Amino acid sequence: MTDVVMPQMGESIVEGTLTKWLKKPGERIERDEPLFEISTDKVDTEIPSPAAGTLSEILVEEGKTVGINTIVARIDEAGGAAVAAQPATAAVPAAAPRTAPEPPVPAAAPPAAQVAAPKPPPEPAEPAGPLSPLVRKMARELNLDLTQVQGSGAGGRITKQDVEAYVAAQSQPAAPPPAPRPPAAAAPAPAVAPLPPAGQAKTRVEPLSTMRIKIAEHMVMSQRTSAHVTTIHRVDMTKVAKLRERHKAQFLAAYGFGLTYLPFVTRAAVAGLRQYPLLNASLDNNNIIYHNEIHVGIAVALDNGLIVPVIRGADEKNVLGLQRSIVDLAARARSRQLKPDEVTGGTFSITNFGSFGSLTGTPVINQPQVAIMGVGTVDKTPVVIEDAIAIRSICHLSLSFDHRLIDGALADQFMTKVKQVLENWSEEVL
């Protein structure tokens, strides 16, 4: 018997929400075949089965949030009988035929009959004071309820005059509703009264997805944890733009994917992290944790949120290797095929909002990291070079950093290094 546990999808993640089971109890499953879907603030993905066998028991229902390493199901590797895997509630349908023939109607019939039996109407309450035979006769003939008549005689006695006054008052016609005007006389506009305005307050309420809730919690936690400061540098990407234009078609033909600006920026960021390793570190209370390896997280936009898969050993890859990793991770992130260890262990992050036309931004640090770089769009811009105006490919790079650990001077030194690498690019891309 193999226990299936809730995996940890990030250093700061302590729980996950099981959103959907892809197999039912008693069904056969192969190793690494998708078993269930989970959602956290870092990933919304499918979790593969750790073993082959029969799904014998589901312990956590859909929509429930549990801590990491919680046992959510069990797999019988010997392929045990499916009967044992059925939940206790499965016995309810079997009991239904025994209870169905027992008609509940006869037991309820006597009370129903008693209720349905007509009862004589209650006698009307006797009005105050004695009634004369004439008043009684008038009441019978006119079908009056004398309790509604106010008596003016001695002791509240009802007289003939009281009855006649009551009848006269009741015979007064109530103000009738205005008769509808003939069609010919009706004005076209008022014929149909205009509907009241729909109102400006009409809304549609939709609950946040689990992933969106987790993202919100993580972002608020990051703002509460780190002292966010952002610096922005303008970078001349002309050399990179020309190199990219020269090799773009060759990349597509040889590898099946295009060449973007992002691997160049990632490569330059790696050079900066090598020179200024404090930006590749993290904080643990009052301790600085220096990471000897550089694992760069690349933010990927999804239909319902954001995920940051990690390029491991980013400092060991050239532009081609970085582009291949970016394309692969983004494609599998959008198809929910990322593995748990591919969204953990990042030491620095990059988010490319320039792909949506944004000039710059102030991204939120991805905890427990201490810095994140934002990449703006690359635009041809007139700039002054040696007292002359020239058209250059300009990009704005922003760096949000944790001021608890990193000062502005260090952040700008790092960004200057990144800028120098990009503006003086000399490395081949193949």
Instruction: State the catalytic residue, choosing from 32, 145, 341, 407.
Output: 407
Query: What CATH number does residue 343 fall under?
Result: 3.30.559.10
Report yes or no on 125 lying in a domain.
no
Alpha carbons 359 and 318: distance in angstroms, whole number: 26
Report yes or no on 220 lying in a domain.
no
Reduce the DSSP state of residue 5 to 3 states and report it: strand
Whether 375 and 397 have beta carbons less than 8 Å apart is answered as yes
Alpha carbons 148 and 325: distance in angstroms, whole number: 91
Whether 228 and 364 have beta carbons less than 8 Å apart is answered as yes
Whether 231 and 408 have beta carbons less than 8 Å apart is answered as yes
**Is residue 247 annotated as part of the catalytic site, yes or no?**
no
Report yes or no on 198 lying in a domain.
no
Alpha carbons 168 and 146: distance in angstroms, whole number: 14
Query: What CATH number does residue 9 fall under?
Result: 2.40.50.100
Among candidate residues 33, 56, 90, the one where a domain is terminated: 90
Report yes or no on 316 lying in a domain.
yes
Q: How many domains does the chain have?
A: 2
Bridge partners of residue 298, in order along the sequence: 350
**Is residue 76 annotated as part of the catalytic site, yes or no?**
no
Whether 119 and 128 have beta carbons less than 8 Å apart is answered as no
pLDDT in tens, the chain (430 residues): 889 998 877 655 678 888 889 999 999 999 888 899 887 655 667 888 999 999 999 999 988 888 888 999 999 988 654 444 444 343 334 444 444 444 444 444 444 444 444 444 444 555 655 666 666 777 777 887 878 887 776 567 787 777 778 887 876 665 555 555 555 555 555 555 566 555 566 888 988 887 788 888 889 999 999 999 999 999 999 999 999 999 999 999 999 999 999 999 999 999 999 999 999 999 998 999 999 999 999 999 988 788 899 999 999 999 999 999 999 999 998 888 888 889 889 999 999 999 999 999 999 999 999 999 999 999 999 999 999 999 999 999 999 999 999 999 999 999 999 999 999 999 988 7
Report yes or no on 111 lying in a domain.
no
Report yes or no on 113 lying in a domain.
no
Report yes or no on 218 lying in a domain.
no
Q: List, in sequence order, every beta strand (DSSP E) within 216-365.
A: 228-236, 282-284, 287-289, 296-298, 300-302, 305-307, 310-311, 348-351
With CA atoms as reference, report the closest residue to 18 among 33, 3, 4, 1.
Answer: 4
Range of the domain at 36: 2-90
Alpha carbons 42 and 6: distance in angstroms, whole number: 14
What is the biggest distance separating any 2 CA atoms in the chain, rounded to whole angstroms? 123
Among candidate residues 57, 90, 123, the one where a domain is terminated: 90
With CA atoms as reference, report the closest residue to 354 among 316, 387, 395, 302.
Answer: 395
Report yes or no on 35 lying in a domain.
yes
Among candidate residues 63, 90, 117, the one where a domain is terminated: 90
Instruction: State the catalytic residue, choosing from 32, 145, 341, 403.
Output: 403
